Amino acid sequence: MVIAIGLVRLTSEGDPGGVSLPPRFGFRSGGHTVHASRSIMLADLGQLLDSTPVSATYDDYRVAIMEENVLGKRIVSARLWTWKRLRELYGLDPRVTVFRCFREFWEVDSEGRPLLAMLCACARDPLLRMSASVILQAPFDAIVTSVDFVDAIRADAPDRFSPASLRAVAHRVCSSWRQSGHLTGTKVRRRARPIASPAATAYALLLGRLTGVRGPLLFSTFWMALLDAPREGLYDLAAQASRRGWIDFRRAGSVVDVGFSKLLTPEEQEALHESD
């Protein structure tokens, strides 16, 4: 089954049709999902990033979790499990493009952090990407339950999980979308609008560019759909991000140009040009 969201046509494995998700930039495809055991773990992520500098290395994150125990896990096995899942979901390595840029935006945008985390997590968790169809097709204020995710996952991957595992995965996915702000409430969860900020907009535009999209089409990608904002609002947020020096954004009528030289290394820019 293929689900069209923005320019990205998501398959049952969370992979796009017609748009690449290049692993060289940190995207992950295939059948693996962190949601087999965890949600997006926003609280743990925030605690880890609050305890480490933006210049932290891969080893710094490992030491912070495993040796300094900044997440307060009493059992070593729990620290190891959390380290592995956070690493799989976000990268935790400045050499990984999608994580390095995410970390830079995290530092300057406290309000948009839940949405930033969801954008990064979707870049690296195929099942979470695929589950976005439930969220983006639900009317605002409509009740969304874990059963909706069960039905969606079963339809796209009927033999992937046992019934019990499927219910558990769906519950974690539902929790992740609540943490990002796309759902609100505890016992009854309703569709809501997440906080779309200039930093989250710049990051969503960057993710689109890393998948090979350019120009005005950058505002019609899966990543921009996750922002849940009207097109004119997205243009305004992009302009704000440009004024803050994060991206280069120019718009004249229907002509739209977005540049990312302030975010990407020369090597990354060269790789993009080669893929173009």
pLDDT tens string, the chain, 276 residues long: the values are 444 455 444 544 444 445 689 999 999 998 889 999 999 999 999 999 999 999 999 999 999 999 999 999 999 999 999 999 999 999 999 999 999 999 999 999 999 999 999 999 999 999 999 999 999 999 999 999 999 999 998 888 888 899 999 999 999 999 999 999 999 998 899 999 999 999 999 999 999 999 999 999 999 999 999 999 999 999 999 999 999 999 999 999 889 999 999 999 999 999 998 887
Q: What tokens does 176 get?
A: 């992740």
Reference 111, options 225, 197, 237, 228; nearest CA is: 197
Whether 227 and 204 have beta carbons less than 8 Å apart is answered as: yes
pLDDT of residue 7: 47
pLDDT of residue 19: 67
Q: How far, in Å, CA of 200 to CA of 117, rounded?
A: 9
Q: What is the dihedral of CA 55, 60, 61, 62, to 10 degrees?
A: 160
Q: How far, in Å, CA of 110 to CA of 61, rounded?
A: 20
User: How many CA atoms, within 13 angstroms, populate the side-chain half-sphere of residue 118?
Assistant: 32
Strand order in the sheet with 16-17: 3-5, 8-10, 16-17
pLDDT of residue 79: 97
Q: What tokens does 75 get?
A: 């059992």
Distances (CA, A) of 24 to 130, 180, 202: 21, 26, 20
pTM for this one? 0.93
